[in-house]
Structures are given as structure tokens and as C-alpha cells.
Amino acid sequence: MHNFDHTGIKTLGDLKASGYKPRSIKQELRENLIGKLQSKAPLFERILGYEKTVIPDIERAILSRHNIILLGLRGQAKTRIARLMVDLLDEYMPVVEGSELNDDPLAPISRYASDLIEELGDSTPIEWVHRSMRYSEKLATPDVSVADLIGDSDPIKAANLRLPYSDERVIHFGLVPRSHRCIFVINELPDLQARIQVALFNILQEGDIQIRGFKLRIPLDIEFVFTANPEDYTNRGSIVTPLKDRIESQILTHYPKTLEVAQQITAQESRVLPAQEEKVQMTELARTLIEQIAFEARASEYVDARSGVSARLTISAYENLVSAAERRALLFDEPGTSVRVADFWGVIPAITGKIELVYEGEQEGPAKVAQILIGKAIRGLFPAYFPDPEKFKKDGPENPYQKIVNWFGAGNKIDLLNDIPQAEYRKALIGVPGLFDLAKKYHPRADAETQLFLMEFALHGLAEYSFLSKHLIDAGLQFRDLLSSMFDSEDDDRGEELSDEDFYG
């Protein structure tokens, strides 16, 4: 990178003597990227799951000196990627002191900088701008105007300077010209009105800007990065074709393709306090179950796939899950606790606000859909931890669940309330014959807390596969025999009975 020891360079003459050579921002990005690739330096740190897809596409675009549009659903790190491009800039950039447009002292573009250099020559003062200040971002909204982006005539400036409106010195420049030699990002580009998009045409191609009929040619040097959601092309607006044609590289982003990558993202982004981590033990299965909920949501018939399911769902859900366990420990004055399947009731508020429902989902209601997704996640993961129950519904090998099912078939039932002390929770699960043996057989190395989670998980899984019935009662669930519950008149007194399909899907 061209990182000068700028402390002693304070005038145009000093800059010339240093050997500094002007270069475009696209060339700057390209050369610095080449240096990082050759030195194997890390690029786009904290961006996970894109190592073989999105990041190579961005690198190719930068090497080609392209403007970029990142196209993808919400929560796919589009804005974060754009912000991290700043790390590919030189650490400091020289500008003419007092310039509105970040004028390069050796290649000025504004009237102000040109006049100052003509007047002071090599004594022209310069200042150094850190790369963190070379990033501008604008969220596209319907109220964004040409004046906001490009600029407008300033009548007060014209009056003070006693200049006609035809003089470029009366212009108040907008965000785009002020981003000269910078990275400029427009988020949600389709939300920008078509007439505003048209104003970007010549800037991208020829460097012309027009302000109230006054045409001014300024060779702006900007790396444009746009972001857009494919949903926007039909629901809220579109990118006008000539503008899209001028954006050289369109890069598609995506959600995590594996549970492992999704877990890494959630662990990296979740804001769990050290005090919470110390108090709450999180099992690996609970972490995986959180991610499986998002995978189920993206495939659900109740959720609008065009809107997407943001990674923020699992991040918020993870935080809520930890807090649900922490709250219970505080209620019962326990020094520590571990996450339970029952704690997933606490993640429902994190789900309902992060999914857009189709008509069928609206009919069910967001809370019900959240419950369905949790149930589908349990069902989807169950065969990875215990034998597939589907294999034992017909005559076949010895049923590893038979002892558990027989106990419930004898008229027994178990109430698992959302908030009960650890000792009571353990006693309830241990009281089901065969449940501990099942968890121990298939997970012999699991610690005591994980064993309890697996035992509770087994009950939920058996209910999902219709080996048991699951009933909603006050502040918890009741597990019972499947057949007897259909004829038990106590259902009206005990609470609402839900089939597996009604309750979790």
C-alpha cells in the first residue's frame, strides 16, 4: 500500500518531493488487493460462508476496476461487505486543505482547489484524510432528491459572493461529488425513484453532472457499490435498465449453506454478556436447533421466500434463548443452569418479528407459525441424534423407544413446565422409564446437563413422529399416550389439546 509518512508533508511542494503520484480509487483498490492476495493477508474478515462464492466475485470485480451491485435477500451481509472494502484503501490520502471535493493536490477538480493552487503554488497547504473517512453511504428512500445526491444552487452563497447562478462556485454539492476519491454506497437501490437513478447515468459513465440546467463536467473518481434485494424488483420498484447496464459487476449473495457456518455467524454476532455465559450452559444441540429453525423457515410454505429469513433471526433467537434460561435461574436463585428445549418458547418473539408470512401463514398467525417452525426443526434434527422413528412404525427391528411408549400407554403422563427448578426438571425426566437409558445409549459421553437436554429432546421428537401426544397446558407442555389422549374427556379441563400438525407442523 502507498502509506506515506505523511507527518512531514504539509504543502504541495512537500508532496511533489515525496514522489507521490495520483491514481484513481479503482486503481488504488486494485493494487492494494493485489498486494494482499500476494502476501496472503486476510480479506473481508468476519464475513463467513462466502469464501468460495461472493468474496472471489468481489475480488475479480475490484481487479477489473468495476462498480459493483450486491444483489441478495436481507441479512446477507451486503452492507458489511461494502464497508470492509475501506480496508483496501491507502491508510491516508492527501487533499487540498479546505476542499469540499477531496481534491487531489496534483489533480484538482474543483474551482476552489484550482484557484488556491494557482494563487499559492507549492505553498498550497494540504491535509491527510484517513481511509475510514473515505466511505459514504446513503439509504435509498422515495424522498431522496437530486439535490441530496448531486447538489443544488445555493442562493445564499450566490448572494454572499455576488456571483450569478451560472458560476459553479454557487453550487452546494451533494453526497456524490463530496465522495470524490471515496467509496460511495447506495443501499436498496430499487427504492430510489427512477428520475433520481437517471441522474446517476452520466456520473457513472462520463463524469457529467447537471444542476438546474447548469451542466458542469467534473471528472469524479468514485467506487460505486450498490445493494439491492431481488424482492424490490417487483414489490417496491426496479433498477432502471440503463443504470443497471452501467454497473459492471452484479454479485449474488446467499444465506449460509450449512448449519456449521450458520452457527459460526450466530456465535460471532450474538451479544451475550460474559455474566450470562458464566451462568448459562448452552449445549451444542441447542445451538444447532436454533440454526435449524432458520433453515426450516426458508423452506416453509408459510413464509414468503422472496423476502428471505435474515441471519438476524438466529442471532436474536440465540440471545433470547440464553436470557430465557438466565431468567429461570434468577427466579429460583440458582447459581447456574443449562438451556432446555422448553426455553425455546422464549425465542418465539425473535422469530415472529423476522419473518414475512404468505396468506396461509397469516391465517395461522405469526406465533403459531413460529411454533410450527420449532417443531419442524426438532423433527428435522431428531434422526441425527437418535434412530429414525419412521423405521419403527411398522414391524421391523426392536423398537428402542418401546419402553418409553409403553409407560405412556399405561396411562402415565409428564408435565414439563417452562419455569421449574433444576431439581424438579431432572426428577420429571428421570421418572420416565427408558428415557435416561435411551440418551445414555446413543450419547454415552454427554455430560449430565446435555443428557437432560437430550432426554427432553427425545420426548419432543417422539411427539413429532406421532409416538406420543403433546398438549399445551398452562405455562408448559404435557406429554401423554397418543391414543388415550384422543378419548380422554379431561382434555377440556387440562387445557388445549393440539395435534402434532396443529402445534408444530
pTM for the predicted model, two decimal places: 0.85
Q: Give me the helices (H) in 258-400, please.
A: 259-269, 274-279, 284-299, 311-331, 348-352, 359-364, 366-385
- Strand extents, DSSP E, 44-160: 68-71, 92-96, 126-130, 135-139, 151-153
Strands, E, within 84-221: which ranges?
Answer: 92-96, 126-130, 135-139, 151-153, 171-173, 182-187, 208-211, 214-217
Question: How far is the C-alpha of 408 from the C-alpha of 468, rounded, in Å?
Answer: 8
- Sequence spans of domains, the chain: 6-141+181-187+222-252, 259-503
pLDDT tens digits along 244-283 = 888 999 999 999 999 999 999 999 999 999 999 999 999 9
Q: For 6-141+181-187+222-252, CATH number? A: 3.40.50
CB 100 within 8 A of CB 178: yes
* Total residue count of the chain as it appears in this document: 505
User: Hey, what's the cell of 340?
Assistant: 432446555
DSSP at 471:
E
**What are the CA-CA distances from residue 60 to residues 80, 261, 464 (Å)?**
18, 24, 47
CA distance 228 to 238: 9
476-481 and 468-473 beta bridge pairing: antiparallel
Q: State residue 493's pLDDT score.
A: 42
pLDDT at 212: 63
- Please spell the DSSP secondary structure of 263-303, one letter per residue: HHHHHHH----HHHHHHEE--HHHHHHHHHHHHHHHH-TTB
Give the chain's residues under pLDDT 50: 1, 233-234, 489-505
Q: d(Cα 405, Cα 416) in Å, to the nearest integer?
A: 17
Give the strand pairing for 182-187 and 249-252. unpaired
User: Per residue in 430-463, pLDDT tens?
Assistant: 999 999 999 999 999 999 999 999 999 999 999 9
For residue 79, count CB atoms less than 10 angstroms from its CB and return exposed for 0-12, middle for 13-18, buried for 19 or more.
Answer: middle
Cα separation, 97 vs 99, whole angstroms: 6
3-class secondary structure, 101: coil
